[in-house]
Structure 1
Amino acid sequence: MLTFSIYAPKVLTTQVGIGQIMMLTDGYGNKISVDSQAALDLYDQGVRLFLGAGFGAPDAFQSSVDLDPNFALGHVALARSLMMSGQMPQAKAAITRAQELGSNLDSRQRQHIECMVLLSSGQPKQARELVKNHVRDYPRDALIAQLCASVFGLIGFSGEVGREAELLAYTSALLPHYGDDWWMMSMHALSLCETGQIDASTRLMDKSLALNPRNANAAHFKSHAQYEGGETAAGRQYLAGWLSDYDDRAILHGHLSWHSALWALHDGDEAGMWAAIDAGVGPGAAKGLPINVLTDTAAILYRAEMAGLSVDPVRWSALSDYAQRFFPETGQSFADMHAALSHAMAGNGDRLAHISDTAKGFAGDLVKPLAQAWGAIARENWSDALEELGQVMGSTERLGGSRAQRDLLELTYANVLLKLGKTAEAQRCLTTRRPVLTANLSLAGFHS
């Protein structure tokens, strides 16, 4: 059985004419229509950077289509990388160009384009189903397989109960097709981590990192495994070293900075936490996607407050303005719940009410009670907050994000119980639902 690594030399390369289009073989062994090896080499370079969350993928893909303007899948890849850097008008133009070029391609490449068309046109359910069908026939079509991988993919943001198990099933089915491939190893390792298989996750993640130490996805997921294992000192040390030469313009820099801030909070290092926030997490510092800037900043600020630290109201006000700028309407439930928190803590009742009144999207039914809970918390109406949170806590996975990110809700629920004097219930709740949080807990009053 032949396996391909994206870092391996290209083998089985063929050049078969289809009209004016040449067929070569990409780094994952897929036949691809492109006019030159040079254009394909730049494409493969872009794929490596994209899958490893490195900086420069859009430039590599742009250079590829500059060499071959008729390279349809080059335009698709460019569109995807532009989407991940928040350049939506340019991404739509690139996917439109790919559609114009795709009519004479083979079935794999046409379907590859269609998956991205569905995604870019706001049809996530249809895209998810097509991706899952596509990878059954073409499992090594990595740029399409990626759309359903990770907690921020089409499965992760499906809003469905059981999506963690579905993600594990998805990567389990793909893994045998990839051999010793660092990217797929890291994707499956996260699936293992999010379903509680920490030791197996760590072993696979370390194998991925040995093959490609600069795979930011693997470094990120290793941080999740260390978080789930309660390894504060080791996690903080590892991530500090890894981030030291990671470009701050890369897609995961801001989120990894959030992990650093969280480690510092758990370690009792308030100065280190604020330094990480101000250098790479908050608005004006982070250079990543708005959804990460909003959700990471809101989460760390409120987790700091629950730990008993003082948060300058100016920070909440600035974040509320940021949320209003980038997410003025509801529809992305994971963003909406953090926007609601920001508006509540900033005292912007009209903005908070808008989210509560219009909540929609994959978990819009949970966003409404959450928004009302944040409002009650801001007013210190703990009884109302508990009632609203009770409608959410049984199905928080539907909101999206990792377990580490959803721990914001676990801690909030326990904190409300503490405010109501229900200390034993708060302790019992965290011990049964998220025992890892009790080992390195940053929640004022929990142990009293």
Structure 2
Amino acid sequence: MLAAWNGAGAAFDRAIAEDPDFALAHAARARIHQMNMEVTEARASAARARQVAAAASPRERRHVEIMAATIEGQPKAALSGAEQHLDEFPRDALILSLLLGAFGLYAFSGRADHDAAKLAICQRHASHYGEDWWFLTYLGWSHTEAGNAGIGRALTERAFPLRPANANAAHGLSHALFEQGEPETGREFLSAWLKTHERASFLHGHLCWHVALTAIEAGDPDAALDIYRRQIRPTGSPYPPLNVLTDTASLLWRLSLAGQSGLAPHWREVIAYGDRFFPQAGAHFGDVHYALAAAATNPDALQKRLAQMEARAADGKLAPGPGAIGLCRGMQAFAEGDHERAVRVLEPLMPELVRIGGSHAQRELWEDTFIVACLRAGHGDRAARMIAERLHRRPSARDQGWLQEARPAAQS
């Protein structure tokens, strides 16, 4: 499970068959059900874990309660409970894992400092893990997302030989190479590594998304679309629905920004998938990606989703706050060809973008859209400022190309 490798669910099923009262196995199985959006099964496994944990140790009971809170939609209780639990039992890696990553409790908390929080809690407990393959993987990725890509890459490369069959390490290294402006190195690494990785493993599609991203960065959208058709599209996808929706919608939007045509059938497939697995507003990271597909295909669906998000914001249930709604409205304006309005809506939200969670690589989608909107609306100066900020963080041939386009527009 910690290696994001295929077979964890079946392994927990075997453990439960051997010992039906093994509370932690039920809790972990519930987590896998949750990731696959098997809501009924997840809640049933969590309830069973609670039931059998009554006879377990206090440590196990707290472990189960934190996992159950995560599954039952109580992220604040799960987050605070995990922090307290780890102070006493820092080597409960599954509990620590709930806090980390682009889709973890910190990332989806709505906090602007979630990248720093992930790094801080890893550093707080580092002395308890030593040369642990899983911990080094996430310590490295946390450094990368907190702006220390060199340290992050070195740590992730240290973790790899300890367990090469580790999709999380491949993922973390891909992010480090992206942040260091080495897309071709990332493409070569992943293309080779994926040959040994089972397609059914839940990160496989997302790692293919990373390969497609490097193709776009290299100015080859046709290659990216080919990867999308073969490896990422939602039809028949075995991956967790949140991964599928976010990967498909974001890649199609990026392809559109790159000038790729003929995307309408793919957009219709994505909105149908979103309607199936995300029929109502709830998971805000899913909502902002659903909005991309709706903006491209179905304005009525977008208005309905925005109304639902506004209701959640009014009830205090939208973690990033109204800024997430603003991002959706900015993308709507862009899709409608109103680039002036897109610039006006998106510009003040750029500092708040981090609150939606995800990774730098995922969030750059909204920055890309703002830059292209600026260029199309004749605001070369604004585009140049954003590009300069990004180039300060990481080198990018694509951004350099946009900067060359922005400078004459700014001068005129």
1:389 and 2:346 matched: yes
Contact 2:206-2:247 within 8 A present in 1 as well: yes
Which residue number in structure 2 is paired with residue 318 of structure 1? 269
Contact 2:180/2:395, CA 8 A, preserved across alignment? no
Q: Are 1:298 and 2:262 counterparts?
A: no
CA distance 1:119–1:107, change in 2 (3 Å): same
Which residue is equivalent to 1:357?
A: 307
Quote the Cα distance in structure 1 between the aligned partners of 2:373 and 2:392: 18
* Counterpart residue identity of residue 357, structure 1: A
Letter in 1 for 2:386: C
- Please state how far the C-alpha of 1:250 moved relative to its aligned partner: 0.8
Q: Which residue of 1 aligns with 2:329?
A: 372
CA deviation string 1:294-353 (max 9, x = no partner): 11111111111212222421111221222122112112111111111110111x111111
The alignment of Structure 1 onto Structure 2 pairs a total of residues equal to 398
1:281 maps to 2:232: yes
Q: Which residue of 2 aligns with 1:201?
A: 152
Alpha carbons 2:245, 2:290 under 8 Å: kept: yes
> Paired residue for 1:411?
368
What CA distance in whole angstroms lies between the structure 2 residues aligned with 1:422 and 1:301?
25
Q: Quick check: 100-109 or 124-133, which moved more?
A: 100-109
8 Å CA contact 2:136–2:159 kept in 1: the answer is: yes
In the TM superposition, residue 259 of structure 1 has moved relative to its aligned partner by 0.2
TM-score when scaled to structure 1?
0.86
Q: Quick one: which amino acid aligns to residue 97 of structure 1?
A: R
| Residues 47-126 of structure 1: pairs in structure 2 closer than 5 A | 50-126=1-77
SS at match of 1:240: helix
**Where do 1:149-164 residues align within 5 Å?**
149-164=100-115
Q: 1:335 aligns with which of 273, 286, 290?
A: 286
Residue type of the alignment partner of 1:322: Y
Cα shift at 1:358: 2.0
From the superposition, tell whether residues 77 and 248 of structure 1 become closer, same or farther in structure 2 (CA, over 3 Å). Answer: same
The question of whether the paired residues in 1 share the 8 Å contact of 2:221 and 2:258 is answered with: no
Amino acid at match of 2:379: K
- Residue 99 of structure 1 aligns to which amino acid in structure 2? R
Q: Answer whether contact 1:333 1:364 (CA < 8 A) is retained.
A: no
Deviation at 1:423, TM superposition (A): 2.1
Structure 1 residues 444 and 416: CA distance shift in structure 2, 3 A: farther
Change (3 A) 1:419 1:438: farther
**Separation (CA, whole Å) in 2 of partners of 1:158 and 1:392:** 17
* Within-5 A mapping of 1:134-149: 134-149=85-100
Bigger Rg over Cα: 1
For structure 1, which runs of at least 5 residues remain unmatched after alignment? 1-49
Deviation at residue 164 of structure 1 after TM alignment: 1.0
Q: Aligned partners of 2:390 and 2:188: how far apart in 1?
A: 28
| Greater per-residue helix proportion | 2
Which residue is equivalent to 1:242? 193
1:444 Cα offset (Å): 7.9
Residue type at the aligned position of 1:213: P
**Larger CA deviation: 368-377 vs 252-261:** 368-377
Contact 1:427–1:446 (Cα < 8 Å) also in 2: yes
Q: Deviations over 1:141-186 (max 9, x none)?
A: 1111111111211011101111111111011112211111000101
Give how far 1:427 is off: 2.0
Offset of 1:286 from its aligned partner? 3.2
Q: 1:422 is matched with which residue: 379, 388, 404?
A: 379
- The Cα shift of 1:71 comes to 1.3
**CA apart distance, 1:62:** 0.4
RMSD, aligned CA? 1.6
Aligned-residue offset at 1:202:
1.0
Worse-superposed segment, 327-336 or 83-92 = 83-92
For residues 57-116 of structure 1, the C-alpha deviation after alignment (integer angstroms, 9 at most, x for no partner) is: 010010011011111112112212222233222222211111111112211011011101
1:383-402 residue CA offsets vs partner (Å, 9 max, x unmatched): 21112112421111100100
Amino acid corresponding to residue 260 of structure 1 in structure 2? V
Which 10-residue stretch deviates more, 413-422 or 388-397? 388-397
Q: Is the 8 A contact 1:61 1:75 kept in 2?
A: yes
Question: What is the distance in 2 between the residues matched to 1:248 and 1:441?
Answer: 30
CA distance in 2: counterparts of 1:284 and 1:422, whole angstroms: 39
Match of 1:169 among 97, 120, 143: 120
Question: Can you list the C-alpha shifts for 1:43-70, whole angstroms capped at 9, x where unaligned?
Answer: xxxxxxx000000001001001101111
Contact 1:103 1:110 in 2 (8 A): yes
In the alignment, the residues of structure 1 paired with residue 121 and residue 165 of structure 2 have an alpha-carbon distance, to the nearest angstrom, of: 25
Deviation at 1:421, TM superposition (A): 1.1
The residue identity in structure 2 corresponding to 1:388 is V
Label 1:235 to 1:259 Cα distance change in 2 as closer, same or farther (>3 A): same
Q: Contact (CA 8 Å) 2:391, 2:399: kept in 1 or not?
A: no
Question: SS at the partner of 1:273?
Answer: helix
CA–CA distance in structure 2, aligned partners of residues 304 and 264 of structure 1: 10
- Tell me what 2:355 maps to: 398
